[in-house]
Amino acid sequence: MTPQRKEILQIFVDSEDGSHLSAEEVYELLRQKDFDFGLATVYRNLELLNELGILNKVDFGDGRTRYELSAANPQLHQHHHLICLNCKKIFEFEDDLLDNLENLISKKSDFEIVNHEVKFFGYCSDCRKRRHNEN
């Protein structure tokens, strides 16, 4: 655990729940705290923390890889991402209904599942209201 590693992880701990930060964003947040690490170091350590299972890689199709703190016990804190197609905000949905689906897939496809990533695209409550008011 180098100081760099420690501070990169601290960025995630300090960020609000459900933050999905890209390397560049972590780098910027570090600079705001006067930690002037190299960008390459940030990239290398995000990847490392991901391999250690401390961070989760997520991808919202905006051209950059993002990371989030992974729950200590994944079984207890499964969550899916709801992505608003209008305002691009990301919402979280806690759920463990996917267990059934995982079991079904394992049996039917003979595929051993160790992780999953689920994204729902649509329109959030605010954007729907706004659109309704505009009409």
Partner DNA sequence: GTTGATGCAAAACTTTTGCAACACG
Partner DNA sequence: CGTGTTGCAAAAGTTTTGCATCAAC
Report which of 48, 50, 37 is spatially closest to residue 7, judged by C-alpha positions. 37
> Which residues in 5-24 contact DNA (CB under 7 A)?
5, 22-24
Contact with a copy of itself (CB under 8 A) among 40, 52, 71, 113: 113
> Which residues in 35-94 contact DNA (CB under 7 A)?
36-41, 43-45, 47, 63-65
Letters for 61-80 (x = contact with a copy of itself by CB under 8 A, - = none) are: x---x--------------x
Tokens of 15: 């960020």
**106 φ, ψ (degrees, to nearest 5):** -55, -45
CA 30 to chain centre: 19
Residue 23: name its binding partner from a copy of itself, DNA, none (Cβ under 5 to 8 Å by kind).
DNA
- DSSP output for 41-107: HHHHHHHHHHHTTSEEEE--SSSS-EEEEPPSSTTT--EEEEEETTT--EEEEE--THHHHHHHHHH
CB of 12: closest distance to DNA in angstroms?
Answer: 15
Contact with a copy of itself (CB under 8 A) among 114, 133, 134, 135: 114
**73 vs 71: CA distance, rounded Å:** 5
Rule CB under 8 A: which residues touch a copy of itself?
57, 59, 61, 65, 80, 82, 84-85, 91, 93, 95, 97-98, 100-102, 104-105, 108-125, 128
